[in-house]
Structure 1
């Protein structure tokens, strides 16, 4: 990307907004272009400021973060904005809905500052982000509600050993860059593997890939 990543913060707590803004603005490659405390405001600000990433809380007045995410990044949006949901552990059910609404990923609010910064950079580059600490809880509770696009995986298709390795790392919540480092391959090669895995299994996105891995005993 040319220039710093433009970040818009949406959280109904002033202290949280201020703290995030301070951390983000201290980075030379990141820039906070706006902050607000409700969903209606973030949708309006995003249309005016065109941020690269919106850091989105879930529980906000007037319009919650899930509906705001749907309006910014959901299916049918002409010029979608990348959304990183930052939530508390006891709101994981909202995280599931936010991912369905079009969010690129999620983190916990108590994540260390470095993880938040890396999460913003990851999402800005177009990759998905699933916090490893809550992936298992999310999948375990909501696996029965997540279905592949065609209803079931494509019959008769088998993944190669390398594709299985990549799928297991996706299920562990790893980003493309982390998978690349673990397997000593390029991030571009990882993107190719991810695309091939989703296509072979008839899955829509990485979230469904995680669920598929758990359902089929590839991870425990």
Structure 2
């Protein structure tokens, strides 16, 4: 029996015993996980998902993909060039069981992306007696108040772009370093960055800055 599952924005046709490299999952080597977004099981096609179906797998290891090189050169009188490498974080899994029904009551840990972030802005409660920050406060001061990083250290990020990122709930290098390709595409569209994230190599830069 085979199944078609969805994870990390991609679809995979799998059978028991198959070994897959998928977008990074929040799991450790040796864990048993269950994919619940099943588009097809055998001859049963979901609408869009097959109710009660699941694919269980064993986590083999957390790995990195092949290195990709991002090279940018601007042909101008005072042109610049930039070369950066990136290795995508992946999870290696082995398919164990394909469940046509009963996956929702199996008790196995659900496969959850470990690379993405939730774009949720939590409202802050102002305790009585504590003055609110002024409306014209600098973005750097706002980031410092929330324990965030100075995002202006990223290539091409100024006060205006940093303010956009803060408004989307992004305040730290760790968040950006953990972005998957789908996250990059989502932020590009949401904040109208027009490919700036990949072009400037923010993910790799943020990874280095977060280590420092």
Q: Do these two structures clear the TM 0.5 threshold for a shared fold by scoring above it? A: no
Larger Rg: 2
TM-score, normalization by structure 2: 0.30
Q: Which has the higher helix share?
A: 1
TM-score of the aligned structures, taking structure 1 as reference length: 0.29
Structure number with greater CO (CA < 8 Å, separation at least 6) is 2
Q: Would you tell me which structure has more strand in proportion to its own residues? A: 2
